[in-house]
Structure 1
Amino acid sequence: MPHYRPPEELTASPTKVTLARGTVLHRVHATRRPGTAFNPRPAHCLYGGGRFDATPCDPYGFLYAGLNREAAVCETLLRSLPFDPSGAPRLLPRVSMRGRRLTTLRLTAEVTVVSLMTAQDLAGVHQDGWLVQTEAADYAYTRDWAHWIRHHTDPWAQGFVWPSKREPGDRTVVLFGDRCPRGVVDAVEDTAIDFDMAEGEEWLDSVLRLYHARVAP
């Protein structure tokens, strides 16, 4: 996909999708931050950051989650983890899981998001699969497109939903803190899985093995 700037105007029709109150989400996050907390730190406009993070050009709190636990794990921990040419399982460095947990969340209110699930959905924002499939080297561009989409779907778009790149059968969402009501997600009690604990590591390793990966010794 060429690196071109978004057009001045949105002349197509973005697809609206409603996530119902009670929808369950799963999030892998640092244990120092509650699972319900939106990330308040904008990414640099050009370096680092995630696919649809805020930047100083468009500051907003953001929260990424998977529609199931496997998508949350894959999107967070299997990014840029290549397969071993010898055929051995991929090894997840322990530093990648240290100080992290998986929290199950539930929407406390109905949320309207822009769907980026299909080619038709993507065409509705003048894009194609590049927007949701490209790797981190292009994230400065995808963030710019995200800000443009937000601008042209203000105020109704409270987030995006798209196919998980690492688990294509599942969905990933990002919610925007400046457009979602306060307390839009609530943690489901007694569901947190701490990867620093023996039980949590065992659970994580069982999920990773489904993707020909494992926690490094």
Structure 2
Amino acid sequence: MSDFFPMIELELRPNRHVIPADTELWRVHHSKYGAGQFNPKLADIHFDGGRFEGTLLDPYHSLYLANTSITALAESVLRSRTFEPPAGMRRIPYRTVWQRSLSVLRTRCELNLVSLIEGKDLAAVCQDSTLLEDESNYAKARRWASEIRAQAPDAMGLIWESRRNRSQLALVLFHDRFEQCDGGPLEVLQGGGIPDLGSQEGMKKANDILEPLRAMISEPVWQ
């Protein structure tokens, strides 16, 4: 567990969202990493890194998931993608899925998460939707994730409404909160995902999943 300690005078009162054991969750990840492997990379305190990744001040490893396959894909590939005329489709560059996989996993233990799903949940941690929607200040989001961790030492991660597939859920897990979960929090399920999103078969399957969101992966252009 991190030695990070509260740095603000505000008292947070986090609401909880519990995901039962044996729940299926989905993840897009680099193919060279295991589907259930936490990302060991730490974000820069001020600049580069994901919204809720650990930093040198609070060096936890992170693992992002979603409750459905379409949400996992949307969270991974639809950032800053606009609807293009005339067909109104969102085209996803091939490089976005190259050497990446979509995997399905099952929880081995109950996940006790801090909820950021509703306005009341964000208010409970003295925040609003900016925490989830501001693309220009991930450093603040990382700092606040550490504050939540410090004031909710039993929380295993955070969960919120997906920005790219509204009403569905995205979540992040903290590696240092699973000491009591034998074998780690997630079991990889074989045969349910897409091992190579960059292959012809993988792109077809992914495009079928993304079709309701009017999005598709572009064919690669080889030089």
Q: Show the 5 A alignment for 1:4-153.
A: 8-84=8-84, 86=86, 88-135=88-135, 137-153=136-152
Tell me, in whole angstroms, the C-alpha distance in 1 between the residues paired with 2:193 and 2:12.
41
| Inter-partner Cα distance in structure 2 for 1:186 and 1:145 | 29
Given residue 120 of structure 1, which amino acid in structure 2 is its aligned partner? K
1:199 matched to 2:197? The reply is: no
- Match of 1:3? none
Matched to 2:184, the amino acid is G
Shift of 1:133: 2.0
The alignment partner of 1:190 has SS state of strand
Structure 2 partner of 1:162? 160
Question: Contact conserved, 1:10 with 1:152, CA < 8 A, in 2?
Answer: no
Deviation of the 1:88 alpha carbon: 3.8
Which amino acid letter does the alignment assign opposite residue 57 of structure 1? L
Report the 3-state secondary structure (helix = DSSP H, G, I; strand = E; otherwise coil) of the residue aligned with 2:53: coil
Q: Is the 8 A contact 2:94 2:198 kept in 1?
A: no
Displacement of 1:87 in angstroms is 5.2
Under a length normalisation based on structure 1, what TM-score does the superposition of the two structures give?
0.91
Deviation at 1:178, TM superposition (A): 0.5
What amino acid sits opposite 1:109 in the alignment?
C
Q: How far off is 1:16 after superposition?
A: 1.6
Q: What are the Cα deviations for residues 11-57 of structure 1, in whole angstroms up to 9, with x where unaligned?
A: 24210221110111100011100110000110111222111011111
Q: Secondary structure at the match of 2:190?
A: coil
Identity in percent: 34
CA positional deviation for 1:86 = 5.0
Q: Residues 137-158 of structure 1: CA distance to partner in whole angstroms, max 9, x if unpaired?
A: 111111111111111111x111
Q: Distance in 1 between matches of 2:146 and 2:85?
A: 38
Q: How far apart in 2 are the matches of 1:213 and 1:149?
A: 34
- Checking the alignment, whether the CA contact within 8 Å between 1:17 and 1:112 is kept in structure 2 is yes
TM-score with structure 2 length normalisation? 0.89
5+ long unaligned stretches in structure 1: 1-5
Q: Which runs of 5+ in 2 are unaligned?
A: 1-5
Q: Partner letter of residue 56 of structure 2?
A: P
1:172 alignment counterpart = 170
Q: What amino acid maps onto 2:186 in structure 1? A: V
Q: Tell me the CA shift for residue 8 of structure 1.
A: 1.8
Alpha-carbon distance in structure 2 between the residues aligned to 1:89 and 1:18: 36
DSSP-derived class of the 2:176 partner:
coil
Q: Aligned with 1:98: secondary structure?
A: coil
Superposition deviation, residue 160 in structure 1: 0.5
